[in-house]
Structure 1
């Protein structure tokens, strides 16, 4: 949309679709990571990117990230945005799944198809695909992905599912979640509490089972750990207000049950995903149920224990060579305490063992932005 002479960089206006503007730290971290990666790669390739984010709260998104934003559910806004853009990125996260609702897949594939119908190149950026329980959704996914210029997914299981649906495997890149490349806020450094205080255990839980049995088991496990040694349990709500309510419920279950010298606290790093990343970096270990809590911990090489409620938890841990400590159906309190104590006793051993895999994922997290900017330059030069 702009000249390519020496004095003027080529400008690409790119719409970005995802689960943005819903106060979910993980998805906001995905967006922040994508924006930073695109900006960095555009500068490296000598072009300029102007993002327009589709959001449930466009005003908030514009204030937070300093970008244009349009409402994700207003057809007129969507059409104007896509018409004004050079391309559409369907952002990272678990967008193409039907566990959270029957309209999720039709919505995100619909955005892709609308952009394609308008003649805009589309790109899938490190998506997590599935679970897809309704086979009727297969044609929607197949059509949207096969017509995209570039498709990347965040794990091999997502690629395999797309292959079964009918997307050629040789068109799919398997890359890490974008948040593996998210930096700490500018001017800050990770600084763990140190040996002067009890070690800090970050705790990220979400509601899942209707009967609350999974949270009861989590509380039992944390209580068992607190009786082995003094710890500071620092609850980190990744999706507000729901995770805050869940954290308060577990803290209530722990009331009067913590060992001597142990404590529980609820923290609120605010809306900025990089502030949450900083909060995670200052933990000595992390017990996480939220996927992005675990990704934040890996990003900062914080030893972790994952509680699985969804295959995406297992898939991420597997990429590091780890396995969940338990699931929402089963968690042994004493085994949890054993594992947590082992992490606290030898954190450097954990980093030596898993650090190389983490470093490789951080390097690979830049690949989608490189591919997309390169593809756009080629597309516009034709």
Structure 2
């Protein structure tokens, strides 16, 4: 059986690559994946799978014609907050696959925000005709349930991603603190400067090694490069392209300060203390689900000293998830694997 995997793949985003790696890890052995990618050659080299250009309509059509299934592979694909085009690209491919008679799976989805009526209508139509649906958070579940679509709710699949060791990580001085920021209109130069000053004071007080992690270098690297010269102690910028190494990185970290959703998930799964800076409802939802300390980007303290104090308190006295909580969450995340195995079960022929 062949399945076309559709997501924000091959675009240099560590979180979406982690979702692809998780999906490939969970696919049944009898399923041969064809990945729609922004960088097909890199995807093929990284994962050893067939990949075709995601924006080449002839290549995508040919892949669908050769396949038995179509999978939305995790993430917030059906949302119109970053671009109105998202629902039309992903929804259009899903509708096309459904018209072609493929088994269609919305897998590990975070649904919304859907601000426009056309986006909501398109999302509703596509989900209603899926073979199977799994979502990663309760807000998405409530929305899809309101459309009377059967669904499975489980934590983000990246909780269950297997890690791969990072060469040289353990040679860096301990303790280590990871920082994963991303560009956003509300991350103004003043706010970025405040965060940098707070980090510098935090590092002076703790003598920690600061690891700046650009999950999507095209967006995040400039931020890391702006912060690093202001840090008084040892620091490194680690731009890792392997999502399994990204996952394992957090096992060598004591605490994480992050905007990126999957940085927080990976860190929490590694028993890190986490401070979330939320720029999006999906990050706020994670904070609520796991009682994770943090603040929305527009409600950060306006004093660097106050922010430093919050981080010092978390570093000294904060709690990470305990191993039992983590294992329970990983076990629940593996429910996404059960959805795949059920929906992609071979058809027995008489």
8 Å Cα contact 1:320-1:357 kept in structure 2: no
Whether the 8 Å contact between 1:192 and 1:282 is mirrored in structure 2 is yes
For residue 335 of structure 2, what is the aligned residue in structure 1? 367
1:214 aligns to what?
Answer: 191
**TM-score normalized by structure 2?**
0.92
> Offset at 1:360?
1.7
Question: Which one has the largest radius of gyration?
Answer: 1
Structure 2 residue 208 is the aligned partner of structure 1 residue 231: yes
Q: How many residues were matched structurally?
A: 347
Which of 329, 333, 341 aligns to 2:298? It is 329
5 Å-filtered alignment, 1:119-138, equals 119-138=101-120
- Which of 227, 233, 237 does residue 266 from structure 1 map onto? 237
User: 2:4 corresponds to which residue?
Assistant: 15
Q: Which residue of 1 is the match for residue 219 of structure 2?
A: 242
Q: How big is the shift at 1:346? A: 4.8
- Cross-structure match for 1:310: 280
Instruction: Determine the C-alpha separation between the residues in 2 that align with 1:189 and 1:275.
Output: 6
Instruction: Name the structure 2 match of 1:6.
Output: none
CA RMSD between the two structures: 2.3
| Aligned counterpart, 2:257 | 287
Question: Partner of 1:91: helix, strand, or coil?
Answer: strand
The answer as to whether partners of 1:190 and 1:278 remain within 8 angstroms in 2 is no
Shift of 1:356: 3.0
Distance change (3 Å), C-alpha of 1:105 and 1:29: same
Cα deviation for residue 219 of structure 1 reads 1.4
Structure 1 position 191, deviation (Å)? 10
Which stretches in structure 1 are left out of the alignment for 5+ residues? 1-11
Matched, 1:179 2:158: yes
1:32-181 matches, within 5 Å, as: 32-38=21-27, 42-43=28-29, 48-164=30-146, 167-168=147-148, 171-181=150-160
Cα 1:351–1:129 shift into 2, 3 Å: closer
Shift of 1:340: 2.8
2: CA distance, partners of 1:29 / 1:125: 14
Aligned to 2:31, what secondary structure does the other structure show?
A: strand
Mapped partners of 2:3, 2:298: distance in 1: 42
Unaligned runs of 5+ residues in structure 2 are none
> CA distance change for structure 1 residues 364 and 190 in 2, over 3 Å: closer, same or farther?
farther
Tell me the CA shift for residue 198 of structure 1: 4.8
Measure, in 2, the Cα distance between the counterparts of 1:128 and 1:190: 33
Q: Give the drift of 1:339.
A: 3.8
C-alpha separation between the residues in 1 aligned to 2:201 and 2:285?
A: 27
Conservation of the 8 A alpha-carbon contact between 2:217 and 2:239: no
What does 1:334-345 correspond to in 2, within 5 Å?
Answer: 334-345=305-316
Q: CA deviation at 1:263?
A: 3.2
Shift of 1:299: 2.1
Q: Given that residues 98 and 105 in structure 1 are in contact (C-alpha distance below 8 angstroms), is that contact kept between their aligned partners in structure 2?
A: yes
Cα offset, 1:151, TM superposition:
0.8
Assess if the C-alpha contact under 8 Å between 1:217 and 1:331 holds in 2.
no
